[in-house]
Structure 1
Amino acid sequence: MFLIQEKNEDGCISYIKKYVGLKKENNYDIEIKFSSVTMSENGVDNILLYDLDMNVIRPAYEYLNVKCGNMSINTRYKVTSALRILYSFLKIFNVKLEDIKKDDFSKLKDFLYGDGKKGERFEFEFMTVRSSDTINQYFSVYRNYLNFLGIDNKILNAKAVAQVIKDSDGLLGHTREKATERYIISEKSMQNKLTVPMYIRPNEYLRIISVIQKEYSLREEILVMLMYENGVRLGEGLGLTLEDIEDSKIIIRNRVSDKFDQHAKTCMRPESYLKYKSEAYKKWKVGYQIVKPTYDVLDKIEQYIDIIHGRMGKTNRLNYINFAIADRISDGGTLEGENFYLFLNKNGKPLHAGGWNKVLRVIFTKAGLTIDKDVKKHNLSHRLRHGFAMKRIKEGATQLQLVDDLRHSGPSSVMKYFRATEEDCYNANTLGAKKMITDNPKLEI
């Protein structure tokens, strides 16, 4: 079995080909990296594509700088990216450019889609995911490139009639017909048909984390990790305080000092400070809920507290004292002094939903995820929580387990999370999905 992993360093994609056999001593891995550079001379930009031995690929050089020389530099960069991926694929699968066959194109499509496809001998583990329209654009590049090289690939160039329409030109136009053709290898276009997914998939989550680690802070990383890995609601996250972070768990609860967007949905809301002493407020699943994140998340939280709260207590002390203090519930514990809301904005005030949504929207866009462009119908934070729910379903969680995982009030309330995509319907052979469907014939799919 070969595992093909994508590696992205500063926007330059390479691939790791790993052989995983029964005997560990036979295992090996190699890195496959086709790099490119742009050289400018006398106002002319030339793009050089290198092979694994750092030799210029001459056919690609002539195509990029002669055949495509009149194109804008950005368009040529896109063509270069497509060719770099093509040569990577050829090397990984030991295929010659002039000998690409039908089965090879099928593998190439899976390779380009990059969506965790798994075959008998190969498994892909990619972060980059491409749409059908992007795949068609890449195949157009490959078609033109092979034609430039004098290679007539029958599979790549084969066409079929897409539709027949009436010819409206002239007096007798209605008596004539026009046939429009399409390349058989092309994927079905999704232009003007994009729908916003209801939940974040694992590969999309990795892309989000990658963007955050490169361009954002611990605050964004922690909140996203809590939502996707523990199903934390946005209000539950924004309402967290220093007092709620313990050695191995996080306590979710409401306080009198909470604002409207800091509420924990399924926890008791105290009307006065006296309620903090009541039996109901101290009761698990009534007054509070428990989340157990990984130690990695807890460690990141400790780092965030040390860095950000230490800084805000000095540089934005007035806002920090006047706005970020939260009610302290217990007299004991390890917390010394005042209690503060955990997540802060750049001014030392508590982070609120409006500011977070703006940040998350940019992160989703940078990660290449589909979002509402006009009317914002899909809550981006909830797509992370929904992704956690779908992940648990596919892992085999029962309906009752999902109630506990999501901190819901009852079994019927978790059914809305099973909003399967077309891909889920085809892949519904996982134990969890099949059991949910079998146990609930009216389940919405």
Structure 2
Amino acid sequence: MIEIEEIKKGTSRYYKVSTYANDNKLISIRTVRYTLKSIPYNKIRCYMLFDNDGNCVENVFNFINMYKVSIAETSREKYSLYLRYLYEFSGIIDKDISRFQRNDIDKFVVFLSGYDPNSSLADSFYTYSSKSEETIAAIFNVVKEYVDYCGYASSKYFYNYRGIKRRAYGKQKANTICPKFISLKEMELILNYIDNDTSLSKEAKMEYSLIYKLMFNKGLRIGEVLGITLEDFEEIYNNDGELYYKLYIRNRMSDSKDQRAKRCLTMDGQYSYNAPIYHRLDIGYQQVFLSEEFHDDIIEYFDVMSARFKREEKTLFKADAIDGISDNWYIFYNKKKPTPLSKDILYNYTREMFKNLNIHIDKYVRTNNLFHRFRHGFCMYLLYVENIPPLQACKLTRHRNAEGLAIYNNPTEDMLAELMMQVEEGTELYG
């Protein structure tokens, strides 16, 4: 079994090719990464394509910057992008372009289309891309000219190929409708799965459970979770003297791109900590509230994790302190390195867990972010289980207005049917 997955990191992307045995045991993982760069040279801009090993692809360089030097710069940039698709595909199937056969051309169109209805490319195909037939035709026009320029024997297959229509693959296999949110029942399955996962240590079980709870029970985004530090908790007592905690969500200079808090002030140097706007609610920071028990569970995990690293004589990566003096640390760290938890590691575990629990994930074009579905579930719980009015729910979800919350209102057919039955029962009084 072959699984192909497009991985996006910031503005860059690469492909991961995983091979599994018949018993679903992972055999190998390959990464395919081609990078485009451009530099000014003699009053023109040169475009270069680099492979996994950082080597410039000479044929592409010569084709774009010498053979096609007379065309517009924007066209040469587009040609470079189209040829990157070709080389990425070549790396995915691990076959030199000069040796392509007719069936490889078929697979190339599948790759460009962003879906694989007949499993001609891989058993599982996960991609963000879905190019139109017009775009695929434009890519093929460039690729045909390029392989002819290179003198590859495979050029005849590119030139003879005419079926750049999706219907050439038969009836398109529909992507299973993928719910946009995690339901309460699914959340229970997830927590039970973690608790019974023998591959995880007790410490990892604590960490993963807390992260998913922060997203589902409190509506935090993944970046907000990974950016939490020890100093972000504040003790609060209500009028009855009961203790709970305020959790501050904010950005720091020490944060990585995976730890950014949306809609919070972006840092612009250390002086930002002293700026009055940094300490203004809904501008410099946002807040959520935790029970004493939830807070204690988080601190217990941190104590267990930090004690282990201390025994291993490893120093935890520090987070900036707001006062610039105190010691401060992030809450969630990687298992082996004392650095903030990698979002990619958590993503891989989440996706595998979803597959094992039969929680739908996008099969072809991925539009439903795995992490954001927890926050989405929080919103749906407020609206459909607790029946909290949208204007009040906005205060808990940290949306500015009901319009911002509206995009989270995506009930399933079962939920709509149940609501319709309730309406029918109510209207029977007036029948």
TM-score (norm 2): 0.51
The question of 1:238 aligning with 2:229 is answered no
Structure 1 equivalent of residue 334 of structure 2: 345
Instruction: Letter of the 1:261 partner, please give it.
Output: D
Instruction: Letter of the 2:380 partner, please give it.
Output: M
Structure 1 equivalent of residue 369 of structure 2: 379
3-state secondary structure, aligned to 1:290 = strand
CA offsets 1:49-100 (integer angstroms, 9 cap, x no match): xxxxxxxxxxxxxxxxxxxxxxxxx9xxxxxxxxxxxxxxxxxxxxxxxxxx
Mapped to 2, the partners of 1:232 and 1:239 lie a distance apart of 11
Instruction: Letter of the 1:396 partner, please give it.
Output: N
Q: Shift in Å at residue 429 of structure 1?
A: 5.8
The question of 1:221 aligning with 2:212 is answered no
The question of 1:306 aligning with 2:303 is answered yes
- Correspondent of 2:393 among 379, 402, 410: 402
Mapped to 2, the partners of 1:307 and 1:199 lie a distance apart of 32
Structure 1 equivalent of residue 348 of structure 2: 358
Structure 1 equivalent of residue 318 of structure 2: 325
3-state secondary structure, aligned to 2:286 = strand
Task: Classify 1:314/1:370 alpha carbon distance in 2 versus 1 (closer, same or farther; 3 Å).
Answer: same
Q: Shift in Å at residue 193 of structure 1?
A: 6.2
Instruction: Letter of the 2:350 partner, please give it.
Output: L
Mapped to 2, the partners of 1:297 and 1:192 lie a distance apart of 41
Mapped to 2, the partners of 1:331 and 1:241 lie a distance apart of 14
Mapped to 2, the partners of 1:269 and 1:417 lie a distance apart of 25
Structure 2: 5+ residue stretches without partners: 1-22, 24-172, 236-244, 423-431
Structure 2 equivalent of residue 392 of structure 1: 382
CA offsets 1:230-269 (integer angstroms, 9 cap, x no match): 1000010011111113341211101111111111101111
Instruction: Letter of the 1:340 partner, please give it.
Output: W
Mapped to 1, the partners of 2:269 and 2:400 lie a distance apart of 24
- Correspondent of 1:210 among 179, 187, 192: 192
- Correspondent of 1:196 among 175, 178, 189: 178
3-state secondary structure, aligned to 1:417 = coil
3-state secondary structure, aligned to 2:252 = coil
Alpha-carbon contact 2:350-2:370 (below 8 Å) kept: yes
3-state secondary structure, aligned to 2:277 = coil
Task: Classify 1:282/1:237 alpha carbon distance in 2 versus 1 (closer, same or farther; 3 Å).
Answer: same
- Higher RCO, 1 or 2 (CA under 8 Å, sep at least 6)? 2
Matches within 5 A, 1:31-430: 194-215=176-197, 216=200, 217-247=205-235, 248-315=245-312, 317-318=314-315, 320=316, 324-330=317-323, 338-346=327-335, 347-394=337-384, 395-428=386-419
Alpha-carbon contact 1:250-1:290 (below 8 Å) kept: yes
CA offsets 1:163-208 (integer angstroms, 9 cap, x no match): xxxxxxxxxxxxxxxxxxxxxxxxxxxx966221111111111000
Q: Shift in Å at residue 366 of structure 1?
A: 2.8
Mapped to 2, the partners of 1:199 and 1:316 lie a distance apart of 41
Mapped to 2, the partners of 1:417 and 1:282 lie a distance apart of 29
> Percent identity of the aligned residues?
32
3-state secondary structure, aligned to 1:221 = helix
Alpha-carbon contact 1:266-1:407 (below 8 Å) kept: no
Instruction: Letter of the 1:381 partner, please give it.
Output: F
Mapped to 2, the partners of 1:397 and 1:214 lie a distance apart of 34
Instruction: Letter of the 1:209 partner, please give it.
Output: L
Task: Classify 1:201/1:276 alpha carbon distance in 2 versus 1 (closer, same or farther; 3 Å).
Answer: same
Structure 2 equivalent of residue 13 of structure 1: none
Alpha-carbon contact 1:222-1:301 (below 8 Å) kept: yes
Alpha-carbon contact 1:227-1:388 (below 8 Å) kept: yes
Mapped to 2, the partners of 1:348 and 1:283 lie a distance apart of 32
Alpha-carbon contact 1:257-1:326 (below 8 Å) kept: yes
CA offsets 1:389-423 (integer angstroms, 9 cap, x no match): 00000112222222211112332111100012111
Alpha-carbon contact 2:175-2:363 (below 8 Å) kept: no
3-state secondary structure, aligned to 1:349 = coil
Alpha-carbon contact 1:211-1:366 (below 8 Å) kept: no
3-state secondary structure, aligned to 1:293 = strand
Alpha-carbon contact 2:175-2:362 (below 8 Å) kept: no
Alignment RMSD: 2.5
Structure 2 equivalent of residue 78 of structure 1: none
Alpha-carbon contact 1:344-1:351 (below 8 Å) kept: yes
CA offsets 1:320-364 (integer angstroms, 9 cap, x no match): 2xxx211100379xxxx5211111011211112212111111222
Mapped to 1, the partners of 2:421 and 2:374 lie a distance apart of 21
Q: Shift in Å at residue 276 of structure 1?
A: 0.7
Mapped to 1, the partners of 2:175 and 2:370 lie a distance apart of 20
3-state secondary structure, aligned to 1:292 = strand
Alpha-carbon contact 1:240-1:341 (below 8 Å) kept: yes
Instruction: Letter of the 2:318 partner, please give it.
Output: I
Structure 1 equivalent of residue 125 of structure 2: none
3-state secondary structure, aligned to 2:322 = coil
Task: Classify 1:430/1:255 alpha carbon distance in 2 versus 1 (closer, same or farther; 3 Å).
Answer: farther
Instruction: Letter of the 2:229 partner, please give it.
Output: T
Alpha-carbon contact 1:266-1:409 (below 8 Å) kept: no
